[in-house]
Amino acid sequence: MSTETLGEKLRQIREQNELPLRKVSALLDIDVAILSKMERGERKLSKEVVLKLADIYKCNPEELLVLFLSEKIMYEIQDEDLGEKALKVAEKRVKYLKANKTK
């Protein structure tokens, strides 16, 4: 399985596209330093930045967003013994919400 972080993946994609941080950060309208830190996991990414990056790199946003969200989830349960149980409960609730969305 992939154990790559979102930041690592984004760096990889950027390098494949042969774009320097300078150019990407200009397109994103954020400081180079911040983007550098984001790719190395020193700063958090926002959903907006992730979507913009998917656009810039012309890649599927879904994969990136799923990774983005799952990292936020992982952060919450860190090394909790009950993390897995909590995930299952959350899954049930999401399904429940989805089923009753329109009601």
Partner DNA sequence: ACTATTTTTGACACTTATTGTCAATAGAAT
Partner DNA sequence: ATTCTATTGACAATAAGTGTCAAAAATAGT
- Based on the shown chain and the rule CB under 7 A, indicate whether residue 6 belongs to the binding site for DNA: no
Query: SS3 letters for the chain?
Result: CCCCCHHHHHHHHHHHCCCCHHHHHHHHCCCHHHHHHHHCCCCCCCHHHHHHHHHHCCCCHHHHHHHHHHHHHHHHHCCCCCHHHHHHHHHHHHHHHHHCCCC
| Nearest residue (CB) to its own copies, 15 versus 76 | 76
Tell me, residue by residue from 21 to 60, as one string, x for binding to DNA by CB under 7 A and - for no binding: xx-------xxxxx-xx-xx-xxx-x--------------
Interface residue list for DNA (CB under 7 A): 20-22, 30-34, 36-37, 39-40, 42-44, 46
